[in-house]
Amino acid sequence: MDKKTYIILPIIAVGFLAIFIISTIAKGGTIIGSRHDLIGFNKRAFGTPDTGPMTGASFNDYRQTCIYCHTPHNANNAAPLWNRQLPEQSGYQMYTSPNFDSKPGPAPDGISLACLSCHDGSVAVDSIRVTPKDFVDAGTHYRMSEEGSVGSDSCGKCHNRRAGAYGGIANAHDATIRYLSKDLRDDHPISMKLPTFDMDPQFNQPAIMKDDGGRMFPNGVQTFEGDKVQCASCHDPHNPDERNVEGRDPFLRTSNRGSALCLTCHAK
């Protein structure tokens, strides 16, 4: 290498690195390319060519990000223009506590049920009401469940704690903590009304009215359908921006640094 190449090579390398970093940052704030974008998992996980085990192999590739959750027509009302088959509202075990001021319902409802249509593993990730006109049926329709819990068609076949679960190419990450199952006794209570001030003075009351009559805290934390705490009170399914300490992106409505999210509702 002559002296010029010596200088130029690192400059090119730094340039590429900058482009790479900028393009990764540019994805922030959008669902595109996040874990909620079910398009192109294989490409993202393995690079090209797209020969991986996911989109188009273990579930249908509809080639549209939004369609796995929304449809412009023929929707149900679990969440805005909701396109997904919903789980049966039976068989759930809800979080309960003697300390409760308000009472949880017998089963998740509304937006929580919409989230659970993927996250409890009872419905396949590609089970939607309205499909695009043309797509190739993958023939397999995997669910976000641990292997063996609800049949064998589960993402947990690969995404579990055993290293090397997927033949040699790469180890699939352990996603079992994201497979909530129908046993919600180990999850923050959902589908229950917020306590009123009289019931619990240590519970902050959301004040700001939204157009639909729901209430919202100034930091964007919402309540849903009749002032209930739901999965989407704490999570914004479109926004992977807020990283936690491990660098994962739990789609939070607002940062939980210093437990800010928790302190929105709980005056502790």
Residues 224-263 that bind ligand HEC (CB under 6 A): 229, 231-238, 244, 248-252, 256, 261-262
The correct pick among 27, 66, 214, 225 for binding ligand HEC (CB under 6 A) is 66
Distance CA 173, CA 159 (A): 5
Q: Residue 4 or residue 49: which is nearer to ligand HEC going by CB?
A: 49
Distance CA 65, CA 67 (A): 6
Site membership for ligand HEC, residue 170 (CB under 6 A):
yes
Give least dist CB 145 to ligand HEC, A.
Answer: 9
The correct pick among 85, 131, 149, 195 for binding ligand HEC (CB under 6 A) is 195
Site membership for ligand HEC, residue 70 (CB under 6 A):
yes
Give least dist CB 49 to ligand HEC, A.
Answer: 15
Give least dist CB 235 to ligand HEC, A.
Answer: 3
Q: Which of 118, 112, 108 is nearest to 84 (CA)?
A: 118
How many residues make contact with ligand HEC (CB under 6 A)? 78
- Scan residues 108-127 and list those touching ligand HEC (CB under 6 A): 111-112, 114-119, 125
The correct pick among 107, 142, 145, 160 for binding ligand HEC (CB under 6 A) is 142
Distance CA 23, CA 14 (A): 14
- Scan residues 27-56 and list those touching ligand HEC (CB under 6 A): 31, 35-36, 38, 41, 44-45, 53-54
Distance CA 118, CA 125 (A): 6
Stretch of 4-12, 18-26, 61-69, 85-93 lying at the interface with ligand HEC (CB under 6 A)? 61-69
The correct pick among 27, 50, 76, 100 for binding ligand HEC (CB under 6 A) is 100
Q: Are the CB atoms for 105 and 119 separated by under 8 Å?
A: no
CA distances from 49 to 8, 23, 40 (A): 31, 20, 11
Site membership for ligand HEC, residue 62 (CB under 6 A):
no
The correct pick among 180, 181, 182, 242 for binding ligand HEC (CB under 6 A) is 180
237 CB burial (10 A radius; 0-12, 13-18, 19+): middle
Q: Are the CB atoms for 115 and 237 separated by under 8 Å?
A: yes
Give least dist CB 90 to ligand HEC, A.
Answer: 16
The correct pick among 39, 86, 94, 172 for binding ligand HEC (CB under 6 A) is 172
Distance CA 55, CA 15 (A): 32
CA distances from 41 to 51, 58, 59, 105 (A): 10, 11, 11, 36
The correct pick among 28, 50, 105, 189 for binding ligand HEC (CB under 6 A) is 189
Ramachandran assignment for 226, one of left (phi > 0), alpha (psi -120 to 50 degrees), beta (any other) = left
